[in-house]
């Protein structure tokens, strides 16, 4: 075999290995995966689904209402949807949900909030109010042991759901 051909094949092989290693490192730094346990985010994320989490949202990129995030809650990962942003006031009264005194009438909240829960929470500069999509099965910001989620506890934003 020609020496130039062997050298060319070796360079191509080295380039492929380098590209695979760089892709692996970048994906490891930027993304992680988590397993959903329970039905608190059903039907969007079901029990046993795996979610891919974009870590850039931990501290670098802004988060918005309706973003689904993964956060650390008392040593365990939890997946919920953002409803309240830093600085906002969240009120639950008589089964109704308000952000800064504006009633939020989305289908998920409308028939699911208990009329037994009354809250009025002012979010801090780095706090988010989160709820599960399945409010009947969700332990979220309505409960004292979860409460408001600090930005430093957020692991990232759900980027993709792998259905099982």
Contacts of residue 143, defined as CB under 8 A and 6 or more positions apart, other chains included, come to none
On whether residue 6 sits in a domain, the answer given is no
149: helix, strand or coil: strand
What domain range is 71 assigned to?
33-162
Are 100 and 89 in contact by the 8 Å Cβ rule? The answer is: yes
Residues 128-159 have pLDDT tens digits of 999 999 888 899 999 999 999 999 999 999 99
Residues 83-132 have pLDDT tens digits of 999 999 999 888 888 999 999 877 666 556 765 678 899 999 999 999 99
On whether residue 84 sits in a domain, the answer given is yes
On whether residue 48 sits in a domain, the answer given is yes
On whether residue 19 sits in a domain, the answer given is no
On whether residue 27 sits in a domain, the answer given is no
Domain count, the chain: 1
On whether residue 92 sits in a domain, the answer given is yes
pTM of the model: 0.83
The closest alpha carbon to 157, from 73, 42, 46, 80, belongs to 80
CATH number of the domain bearing residue 117: 2.10.109.10
């Amino acid at each position: 075999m020609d020496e130039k051909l062997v050298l060319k094949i070796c360079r191509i092989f080295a380039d492929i290995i380098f590209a695979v290693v760089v892709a692996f490192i970048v994906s490891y730094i930027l993304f992680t995966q988590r397993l959903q346990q329970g039905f608190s985010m059903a039907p969007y994320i079901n029990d046993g689904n795996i979610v891919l989490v974009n870590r850039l949202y931990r501290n670098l990129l802004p988060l918005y209402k309706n973003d689904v995030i993964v956060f650390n809650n008392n040593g365990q990962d939890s997946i919920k949807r953002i409803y309240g942003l830093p600085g906002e006031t969240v009120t639950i009264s008589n089964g109704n949900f308000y952000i800064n005194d504006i009633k939020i009438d989305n289908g998920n909240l409308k028939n699911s909030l208990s009329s037994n829960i009354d809250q009025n929470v002012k979010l801090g500069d780095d706090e988010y109010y989160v709820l599960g999509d399945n409010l009947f099965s969700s332990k979220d910001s309505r409960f004292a042991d979860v409460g408001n989620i600090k930005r430093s506890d957020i692991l990232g934003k759900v980027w993709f759901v792998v259905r099982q």
